[in-house]
Structure 1
Protein backbone atom coordinates (compact mmCIF):
# COMPACT_ATOMS: atom_id res chain seq x y z
CA UNK A 1 0.00 0.00 0.00
CA UNK A 2 1.40 3.50 -0.80
CA UNK A 3 3.19 5.17 2.08
CA UNK A 4 1.18 8.38 1.72
CA UNK A 5 -2.00 6.43 2.41
CA UNK A 6 -0.82 4.51 5.47
CA UNK A 7 0.94 7.51 6.96
CA UNK A 8 -2.33 9.39 7.43
CA UNK A 9 -5.28 8.73 9.72
CA UNK A 10 -7.57 7.73 6.86
CA UNK A 11 -7.22 4.04 7.68
CA UNK A 12 -6.40 2.45 11.01
CA UNK A 13 -3.24 0.44 10.28
CA UNK A 14 -4.23 -2.13 12.88
CA UNK A 15 -7.28 -3.12 10.80
CA UNK A 16 -6.45 -4.55 7.36
CA UNK A 17 -8.52 -3.35 4.39
CA UNK A 18 -9.79 -6.91 3.92
CA UNK A 19 -11.25 -6.82 7.42
CA UNK A 20 -12.94 -3.49 6.71
CA UNK A 21 -14.54 -4.91 3.57
CA UNK A 22 -15.72 -8.03 5.39
CA UNK A 23 -17.28 -5.97 8.18
CA UNK A 24 -19.15 -3.82 5.67
CA UNK A 25 -20.45 -6.87 3.83
CA UNK A 26 -21.50 -8.46 7.13
CA UNK A 27 -23.30 -5.26 8.14
CA UNK A 28 -25.11 -5.36 4.79
CA UNK A 29 -26.20 -8.95 5.46
CA UNK A 30 -27.41 -8.05 8.95
CA UNK A 31 -29.26 -5.02 7.56
CA UNK A 32 -31.05 -7.27 5.08
CA UNK A 33 -32.01 -9.55 7.97
CA UNK A 34 -33.44 -6.62 9.94
CA UNK A 35 -35.37 -5.47 6.87
CA UNK A 36 -36.70 -8.99 6.34
CA UNK A 37 -37.83 -9.27 9.95
CA UNK A 38 -39.57 -5.91 9.64
CA UNK A 39 -41.36 -6.97 6.47
CA UNK A 40 -42.45 -10.36 7.85
CA UNK A 41 -43.61 -9.08 11.24
CA UNK A 42 -45.64 -5.98 10.45
CA UNK A 43 -44.12 -4.03 7.56
CA UNK A 44 -46.32 -5.76 4.99
CA UNK A 45 -49.34 -3.97 6.49
CA UNK A 46 -47.87 -0.54 5.76
CA UNK A 47 -48.69 1.40 2.65
CA UNK A 48 -45.04 1.65 1.53
CA UNK A 49 -42.92 -0.95 3.37
CA UNK A 50 -40.07 -0.65 0.87
CA UNK A 51 -39.24 2.86 2.12
CA UNK A 52 -38.34 1.87 5.67
CA UNK A 53 -37.00 -1.51 4.52
CA UNK A 54 -34.41 0.20 2.32
CA UNK A 55 -33.57 2.64 5.10
CA UNK A 56 -32.88 -0.22 7.53
CA UNK A 57 -30.40 -1.85 5.13
CA UNK A 58 -28.54 1.36 4.32
CA UNK A 59 -28.54 2.48 7.95
CA UNK A 60 -26.81 -0.71 9.07
CA UNK A 61 -23.97 -0.22 6.56
CA UNK A 62 -23.64 3.50 7.35
CA UNK A 63 -23.44 2.90 11.10
CA UNK A 64 -20.77 0.24 10.49
CA UNK A 65 -18.76 2.81 8.54
CA UNK A 66 -19.22 5.32 11.37
CA UNK A 67 -18.00 2.79 13.95
CA UNK A 68 -14.90 2.01 11.90
CA UNK A 69 -14.26 5.72 11.36
CA UNK A 70 -14.34 6.43 15.08
CA UNK A 71 -12.30 3.40 16.11
CA UNK A 72 -10.73 4.07 19.51
CA UNK A 73 -10.45 7.82 18.99
CA UNK A 74 -12.41 9.91 21.47
CA UNK A 75 -11.70 13.03 19.42
CA UNK A 76 -13.30 11.49 16.33
CA UNK A 77 -16.33 10.46 18.37
CA UNK A 78 -16.92 14.01 19.60
CA UNK A 79 -16.26 15.42 16.12
CA UNK A 80 -18.83 13.04 14.67
CA UNK A 81 -21.43 14.04 17.26
CA UNK A 82 -20.91 17.67 16.29
CA UNK A 83 -21.12 16.92 12.59
CA UNK A 84 -24.31 14.85 12.88
CA UNK A 85 -25.99 17.32 15.24
CA UNK A 86 -26.87 19.49 12.23
CA UNK A 87 -29.17 16.76 10.91
CA UNK A 88 -32.83 17.13 11.86
CA UNK A 89 -35.43 14.41 11.34
CA UNK A 90 -39.01 15.68 11.34
CA UNK A 91 -40.78 12.73 9.74
CA UNK A 92 -43.85 11.69 11.71
CA UNK A 93 -43.65 8.05 12.83
CA UNK A 94 -47.08 6.46 12.48
CA UNK A 95 -46.10 3.23 14.23
CA UNK A 96 -43.76 3.25 17.22
CA UNK A 97 -42.55 -0.23 16.25
CA UNK A 98 -40.79 1.36 13.29
CA UNK A 99 -38.53 3.13 15.78
CA UNK A 100 -37.58 -0.20 17.35
CA UNK A 101 -36.44 -1.54 13.98
CA UNK A 102 -34.40 1.59 13.30
CA UNK A 103 -32.65 1.11 16.65
CA UNK A 104 -32.07 -2.56 15.82
CA UNK A 105 -30.46 -1.60 12.51
CA UNK A 106 -28.20 0.87 14.32
CA UNK A 107 -27.15 -1.79 16.84
CA UNK A 108 -26.26 -4.46 14.28
CA UNK A 109 -24.39 -1.89 12.18
CA UNK A 110 -22.42 -0.69 15.18
CA UNK A 111 -21.61 -4.24 16.25
CA UNK A 112 -20.47 -5.13 12.73
CA UNK A 113 -18.24 -2.07 12.50
CA UNK A 114 -16.67 -2.86 15.86
CA UNK A 115 -16.10 -6.51 14.93
CA UNK A 116 -18.51 -7.83 17.58
CA UNK A 117 -20.26 -10.15 15.15
CA UNK A 118 -21.45 -12.61 17.78
CA UNK A 119 -23.87 -10.06 19.24
CA UNK A 120 -26.11 -9.70 16.14
CA UNK A 121 -25.74 -13.41 15.33
CA UNK A 122 -27.29 -14.25 18.70
CA UNK A 123 -29.57 -11.23 19.03
CA UNK A 124 -31.23 -11.13 15.61
CA UNK A 125 -32.95 -14.54 15.89
CA UNK A 126 -34.26 -13.64 19.35
CA UNK A 127 -35.58 -10.25 18.24
CA UNK A 128 -36.95 -11.72 15.00
CA UNK A 129 -38.90 -14.50 16.68
CA UNK A 130 -40.25 -12.05 19.27
CA UNK A 131 -41.35 -9.52 16.63
CA UNK A 132 -43.09 -12.12 14.48
CA UNK A 133 -44.79 -13.69 17.52
CA UNK A 134 -46.08 -10.35 18.77
CA UNK A 135 -47.34 -9.45 15.29
CA UNK A 136 -49.52 -12.60 15.37
CA UNK A 137 -50.86 -11.83 18.85
CA UNK A 138 -54.67 -11.44 19.07
CA UNK A 139 -54.46 -7.77 20.02
CA UNK A 140 -53.32 -7.00 16.50
CA UNK A 141 -56.54 -7.88 14.74
CA UNK A 142 -57.40 -5.75 11.73
CA UNK A 143 -59.96 -5.46 8.99
CA UNK A 144 -63.09 -3.61 8.03
CA UNK A 145 -64.46 -4.28 11.49
CA UNK A 146 -61.14 -4.75 13.28
CA UNK A 147 -58.97 -2.62 15.52
CA UNK A 148 -56.39 -1.64 12.91
CA UNK A 149 -54.05 1.33 13.04
CA UNK A 150 -55.15 3.95 10.54
CA UNK A 151 -54.17 7.30 9.09
CA UNK A 152 -57.02 9.71 8.45
CA UNK A 153 -56.84 12.90 6.37
CA UNK A 154 -59.79 15.31 6.53
CA UNK A 155 -60.15 18.43 4.41
CA UNK A 156 -61.99 21.02 6.49
CA UNK A 157 -63.24 24.42 5.36
CA UNK A 158 -61.32 27.34 6.80
CA UNK A 159 -62.92 28.98 9.83
CA UNK A 160 -64.09 25.73 11.42
CA UNK A 161 -62.73 24.57 14.77
CA UNK A 162 -61.47 20.99 14.25
CA UNK A 163 -61.89 20.10 17.91
CA UNK A 164 -65.55 21.10 18.05
CA UNK A 165 -66.41 19.98 14.52
CA UNK A 166 -64.77 16.55 14.37
CA UNK A 167 -64.05 15.41 17.92
CA UNK A 168 -67.39 13.73 18.60
CA UNK A 169 -67.26 11.72 15.36
CA UNK A 170 -63.63 10.68 15.77
CA UNK A 171 -64.09 9.48 19.34
CA UNK A 172 -66.97 7.20 18.34
CA UNK A 173 -64.82 5.21 15.92
CA UNK A 174 -61.17 5.74 16.91
CA UNK A 175 -59.06 5.10 19.98
CA UNK A 176 -55.76 6.83 20.81
CA UNK A 177 -56.49 9.40 18.12
CA UNK A 178 -54.08 12.28 17.68
CA UNK A 179 -53.52 15.14 15.24
CA UNK A 180 -50.08 14.72 13.63
CA UNK A 181 -50.10 17.06 10.62
CA UNK A 182 -51.83 20.22 9.43
CA UNK A 183 -51.52 21.76 5.96
CA UNK A 184 -53.39 24.35 3.92
CA UNK A 185 -55.27 23.41 0.75
CA UNK A 186 -57.25 25.09 -2.03
CA UNK A 187 -54.99 28.16 -1.90
CA UNK A 188 -55.63 28.64 1.81
CA UNK A 189 -59.39 28.12 1.69
CA UNK A 190 -59.23 24.81 3.56
CA UNK A 191 -57.11 22.80 5.98
CA UNK A 192 -55.89 19.24 5.52
CA UNK A 193 -55.86 17.62 8.97
CA UNK A 194 -54.07 14.30 9.37
CA UNK A 195 -54.91 12.07 12.33
CA UNK A 196 -53.54 8.71 13.43
CA UNK A 197 -55.39 6.29 15.67
CA UNK A 198 -56.76 2.82 16.12
CA UNK A 199 -60.07 1.81 14.59
CA UNK A 200 -62.38 0.37 17.23
CA UNK A 201 -63.53 -3.27 16.70
CA UNK A 202 -67.18 -2.34 16.29
CA UNK A 203 -66.45 0.40 13.75
CA UNK A 204 -67.13 0.11 10.04
CA UNK A 205 -64.86 1.88 7.57
CA UNK A 206 -67.64 2.89 5.20
CA UNK A 207 -69.94 4.07 7.97
CA UNK A 208 -67.13 6.04 9.62
CA UNK A 209 -66.20 7.84 6.39
CA UNK A 210 -69.87 8.48 5.65
CA UNK A 211 -70.38 10.08 9.07
CA UNK A 212 -67.38 12.34 8.54
CA UNK A 213 -68.63 13.44 5.12
CA UNK A 214 -71.94 14.46 6.68
CA UNK A 215 -70.24 16.85 9.11
CA UNK A 216 -70.74 20.46 8.07
CA UNK A 217 -67.53 21.95 6.71
CA UNK A 218 -65.89 18.65 5.74
CA UNK A 219 -64.84 18.77 2.08
CA UNK A 220 -63.10 15.40 1.75
CA UNK A 221 -61.96 12.33 3.70
CA UNK A 222 -59.15 9.82 3.12
CA UNK A 223 -58.70 6.79 5.38
CA UNK A 224 -55.76 4.39 5.15
CA UNK A 225 -55.17 1.30 7.28
CA UNK A 226 -51.56 0.60 8.26
Structure 2
Protein backbone atom coordinates (compact mmCIF):
# COMPACT_ATOMS: atom_id res chain seq x y z
CA UNK A 1 0.00 0.00 0.00
CA UNK A 2 1.32 3.52 -0.74
CA UNK A 3 3.01 5.23 2.21
CA UNK A 4 0.75 8.29 1.99
CA UNK A 5 -2.32 6.05 2.25
CA UNK A 6 -0.94 4.15 5.21
CA UNK A 7 -0.13 7.41 6.98
CA UNK A 8 -3.65 8.68 6.31
CA UNK A 9 -5.58 5.71 7.69
CA UNK A 10 -2.98 3.93 9.82
CA UNK A 11 -3.08 0.23 10.66
CA UNK A 12 -5.87 -1.46 12.61
CA UNK A 13 -3.76 -1.77 15.78
CA UNK A 14 -2.14 1.66 15.68
CA UNK A 15 -4.80 4.05 14.41
CA UNK A 16 -5.48 7.44 15.89
CA UNK A 17 -9.03 8.67 16.35
CA UNK A 18 -8.74 10.68 13.13
CA UNK A 19 -7.38 7.71 11.20
CA UNK A 20 -10.21 5.52 12.50
CA UNK A 21 -12.71 8.15 11.42
CA UNK A 22 -11.13 8.27 7.95
CA UNK A 23 -11.29 4.49 7.72
CA UNK A 24 -14.98 4.39 8.65
CA UNK A 25 -15.80 7.25 6.28
CA UNK A 26 -14.16 5.25 3.49
CA UNK A 27 -16.27 2.24 4.52
CA UNK A 28 -19.36 4.48 4.41
CA UNK A 29 -18.50 5.62 0.88
CA UNK A 30 -17.89 2.03 -0.16
CA UNK A 31 -21.23 1.01 1.35
CA UNK A 32 -22.99 3.79 -0.54
CA UNK A 33 -21.36 2.59 -3.74
CA UNK A 34 -22.54 -0.97 -3.10
CA UNK A 35 -26.07 0.25 -2.33
CA UNK A 36 -26.02 2.31 -5.54
CA UNK A 37 -24.94 -0.71 -7.58
CA UNK A 38 -27.68 -2.75 -5.90
CA UNK A 39 -30.34 -0.18 -6.86
CA UNK A 40 -28.92 -0.08 -10.37
CA UNK A 41 -29.07 -3.81 -11.09
CA UNK A 42 -32.22 -4.77 -9.15
CA UNK A 43 -35.82 -4.20 -10.38
CA UNK A 44 -37.27 -1.29 -8.42
CA UNK A 45 -40.39 -3.24 -7.42
CA UNK A 46 -38.27 -5.90 -5.69
CA UNK A 47 -36.18 -3.55 -3.53
CA UNK A 48 -37.07 -3.40 0.15
CA UNK A 49 -36.93 0.26 1.30
CA UNK A 50 -34.56 -0.53 4.17
CA UNK A 51 -32.23 -2.88 2.33
CA UNK A 52 -29.87 -0.34 0.66
CA UNK A 53 -29.40 1.40 4.03
CA UNK A 54 -28.64 -2.00 5.58
CA UNK A 55 -25.84 -2.54 3.08
CA UNK A 56 -24.27 0.80 3.95
CA UNK A 57 -24.44 0.16 7.69
CA UNK A 58 -23.05 -3.36 7.28
CA UNK A 59 -19.99 -2.00 5.50
CA UNK A 60 -19.34 0.48 8.33
CA UNK A 61 -19.93 -2.04 11.11
CA UNK A 62 -17.66 -4.62 9.49
CA UNK A 63 -14.97 -1.98 9.10
CA UNK A 64 -15.19 -1.47 12.85
CA UNK A 65 -14.45 -5.14 13.60
CA UNK A 66 -10.68 -5.05 12.92
CA UNK A 67 -10.46 -1.76 14.82
CA UNK A 68 -12.09 -3.40 17.84
CA UNK A 69 -10.40 -6.79 17.68
CA UNK A 70 -6.96 -5.90 16.35
CA UNK A 71 -4.66 -8.92 16.70
CA UNK A 72 -6.35 -10.21 19.85
CA UNK A 73 -7.63 -13.71 19.06
CA UNK A 74 -9.44 -13.99 22.39
CA UNK A 75 -11.41 -10.84 21.63
CA UNK A 76 -12.28 -12.23 18.21
CA UNK A 77 -13.79 -15.39 19.70
CA UNK A 78 -15.55 -13.33 22.35
CA UNK A 79 -17.10 -11.11 19.71
CA UNK A 80 -18.27 -14.12 17.71
CA UNK A 81 -19.90 -15.52 20.82
CA UNK A 82 -21.63 -12.22 21.54
CA UNK A 83 -22.91 -11.89 17.97
CA UNK A 84 -24.23 -15.46 17.98
CA UNK A 85 -27.26 -14.30 19.98
CA UNK A 86 -28.35 -12.08 17.08
CA UNK A 87 -30.99 -13.57 14.78
CA UNK A 88 -32.34 -12.21 11.48
CA UNK A 89 -36.03 -11.32 11.84
CA UNK A 90 -36.62 -11.00 8.09
CA UNK A 91 -36.08 -13.88 5.69
CA UNK A 92 -34.08 -12.90 2.61
CA UNK A 93 -36.09 -14.64 -0.10
CA UNK A 94 -33.86 -13.83 -3.08
CA UNK A 95 -30.34 -15.24 -3.29
CA UNK A 96 -29.34 -12.15 -5.25
CA UNK A 97 -29.96 -10.10 -2.12
CA UNK A 98 -27.81 -12.48 -0.08
CA UNK A 99 -24.87 -11.95 -2.44
CA UNK A 100 -25.07 -8.21 -1.84
CA UNK A 101 -25.06 -8.79 1.92
CA UNK A 102 -21.84 -10.81 1.52
CA UNK A 103 -20.51 -8.10 -0.81
CA UNK A 104 -21.01 -5.40 1.82
CA UNK A 105 -19.55 -7.58 4.58
CA UNK A 106 -16.36 -8.38 2.66
CA UNK A 107 -15.76 -4.82 1.50
CA UNK A 108 -16.32 -3.47 5.00
CA UNK A 109 -13.89 -6.00 6.49
CA UNK A 110 -11.32 -5.23 3.82
CA UNK A 111 -11.48 -1.52 4.65
CA UNK A 112 -11.26 -2.17 8.38
CA UNK A 113 -8.29 -4.53 7.87
CA UNK A 114 -6.35 -1.84 5.96
CA UNK A 115 -6.91 -3.57 2.63
CA UNK A 116 -8.25 -0.55 0.75
CA UNK A 117 -6.88 -1.70 -2.59
CA UNK A 118 -8.69 -5.02 -2.14
CA UNK A 119 -11.91 -3.14 -1.32
CA UNK A 120 -11.66 -0.83 -4.33
CA UNK A 121 -10.67 -3.54 -6.82
CA UNK A 122 -13.27 -5.89 -5.36
CA UNK A 123 -16.03 -3.31 -5.73
CA UNK A 124 -15.00 -2.56 -9.30
CA UNK A 125 -14.87 -6.19 -10.41
CA UNK A 126 -17.97 -7.27 -8.47
CA UNK A 127 -19.92 -4.22 -9.62
CA UNK A 128 -19.16 -4.92 -13.26
CA UNK A 129 -20.01 -8.60 -12.78
CA UNK A 130 -23.28 -7.72 -11.02
CA UNK A 131 -24.27 -5.52 -13.95
CA UNK A 132 -23.35 -8.13 -16.55
CA UNK A 133 -25.24 -10.96 -14.84
CA UNK A 134 -28.13 -8.88 -13.50
CA UNK A 135 -31.56 -10.58 -13.57
CA UNK A 136 -33.80 -9.81 -16.48
CA UNK A 137 -36.41 -7.11 -15.94
CA UNK A 138 -40.06 -8.06 -15.80
CA UNK A 139 -41.85 -8.95 -19.01
CA UNK A 140 -44.54 -6.83 -20.61
CA UNK A 141 -47.22 -8.36 -18.40
CA UNK A 142 -45.23 -7.47 -15.26
CA UNK A 143 -44.29 -11.06 -14.40
CA UNK A 144 -40.97 -12.62 -15.37
CA UNK A 145 -40.88 -16.41 -15.20
CA UNK A 146 -43.07 -18.47 -12.90
CA UNK A 147 -45.67 -17.11 -10.50
CA UNK A 148 -47.63 -18.56 -7.57
CA UNK A 149 -51.40 -18.78 -7.96
CA UNK A 150 -53.60 -19.57 -4.95
CA UNK A 151 -57.29 -20.27 -5.48
CA UNK A 152 -60.01 -21.02 -2.92
CA UNK A 153 -63.03 -22.98 -4.19
CA UNK A 154 -66.24 -24.12 -2.61
CA UNK A 155 -66.07 -27.76 -1.56
CA UNK A 156 -67.41 -30.32 -4.01
CA UNK A 157 -66.28 -28.41 -7.13
CA UNK A 158 -64.16 -29.92 -9.90
CA UNK A 159 -61.12 -27.61 -10.35
CA UNK A 160 -60.22 -28.90 -13.82
CA UNK A 161 -63.71 -28.34 -15.17
CA UNK A 162 -64.09 -24.91 -13.57
CA UNK A 163 -60.65 -23.46 -14.21
CA UNK A 164 -59.43 -25.30 -17.30
CA UNK A 165 -60.76 -22.89 -19.92
CA UNK A 166 -59.26 -19.82 -18.24
CA UNK A 167 -55.92 -21.58 -17.79
CA UNK A 168 -55.82 -22.53 -21.48
CA UNK A 169 -56.48 -18.94 -22.63
CA UNK A 170 -54.03 -17.13 -20.34
CA UNK A 171 -51.37 -19.55 -19.11
CA UNK A 172 -48.54 -21.38 -20.83
CA UNK A 173 -47.72 -23.47 -17.76
CA UNK A 174 -49.90 -24.83 -14.95
CA UNK A 175 -48.56 -27.08 -12.21
CA UNK A 176 -50.46 -27.99 -9.05
CA UNK A 177 -48.01 -27.78 -6.13
CA UNK A 178 -50.23 -28.26 -3.07
CA UNK A 179 -53.80 -28.38 -1.89
CA UNK A 180 -55.87 -28.53 1.26
CA UNK A 181 -59.11 -27.58 2.94
CA UNK A 182 -60.05 -24.55 5.01
CA UNK A 183 -63.04 -23.13 6.87
CA UNK A 184 -63.53 -26.45 8.66
CA UNK A 185 -63.66 -28.36 5.39
CA UNK A 186 -66.06 -26.01 3.63
CA UNK A 187 -63.47 -24.73 1.12
CA UNK A 188 -60.72 -26.19 -1.04
CA UNK A 189 -57.39 -24.31 -1.25
CA UNK A 190 -55.25 -25.01 -4.31
CA UNK A 191 -51.74 -23.67 -5.01
CA UNK A 192 -50.34 -23.65 -8.54
CA UNK A 193 -47.05 -22.73 -10.17
CA UNK A 194 -48.05 -20.92 -13.35
CA UNK A 195 -46.59 -18.88 -16.20
CA UNK A 196 -48.54 -16.24 -18.07
CA UNK A 197 -48.64 -16.09 -21.85
CA UNK A 198 -46.66 -13.13 -23.28
CA UNK A 199 -49.80 -11.14 -24.12
CA UNK A 200 -51.70 -12.04 -20.93
CA UNK A 201 -52.01 -9.66 -17.99
CA UNK A 202 -52.11 -10.68 -14.31
CA UNK A 203 -55.28 -8.64 -13.80
CA UNK A 204 -57.00 -10.51 -16.63
CA UNK A 205 -56.25 -13.82 -14.98
CA UNK A 206 -57.47 -12.67 -11.56
CA UNK A 207 -60.65 -11.07 -12.95
CA UNK A 208 -61.63 -14.04 -15.09
CA UNK A 209 -61.06 -16.50 -12.27
CA UNK A 210 -63.13 -14.37 -9.90
CA UNK A 211 -66.03 -14.40 -12.36
CA UNK A 212 -66.28 -18.20 -12.11
CA UNK A 213 -69.09 -19.32 -9.84
CA UNK A 214 -67.70 -21.14 -6.81
CA UNK A 215 -64.35 -19.31 -6.73
CA UNK A 216 -64.10 -17.60 -3.34
CA UNK A 217 -60.66 -15.94 -3.60
CA UNK A 218 -57.70 -15.63 -5.96
CA UNK A 219 -54.13 -14.57 -5.18
CA UNK A 220 -51.29 -14.24 -7.70
CA UNK A 221 -47.70 -13.62 -6.58
CA UNK A 222 -44.44 -13.15 -8.43
CA UNK A 223 -41.86 -15.90 -7.98
CA UNK A 224 -41.92 -19.59 -7.29
TM range (shorter): 0.5 to 0.7
**Offset at residue 148 of structure 1 (A):** 1.5
Partner of 1:208 in structure 2? 205
- 1:43–1:51 Cα change, 3 Å: farther
**Offset at residue 208 of structure 1 (A):** 3.2
Q: Distance between the aligned counterparts of 2:123 and 2:175, measured in 1? A: 31
Deviations 1:93-114 (A, max 9, x none): 2321000001000011101111
Partner of 1:30 in structure 2? 30
Runs of 5+ unmatched residues, structure 1: 1-11
Runs of 5+ unmatched residues, structure 2: 1-11
| TM-score between both structures, scaled by the size of structure 1 | 0.67
Partner of 1:56 in structure 2? 55
Deviations 1:109-147 (A, max 9, x none): 101111110011111111111111222xxx725224475
Partner of 1:98 in structure 2? 97
Larger radius of gyration: 2
- 1:142–1:72 Cα change, 3 Å: same
| TM-score between both structures, scaled by the size of structure 2 | 0.67
Deviations 1:77-107 (A, max 9, x none): 1111111111111423232100000100001
Count of paired positions: 196
Whether the aligned pair in 2 keeps the contact of 1:151 and 1:197 (CA below 8 Å) is yes
What secondary structure does 2:217 align onto? strand
CA-atom RMSD in angstroms: 4.2
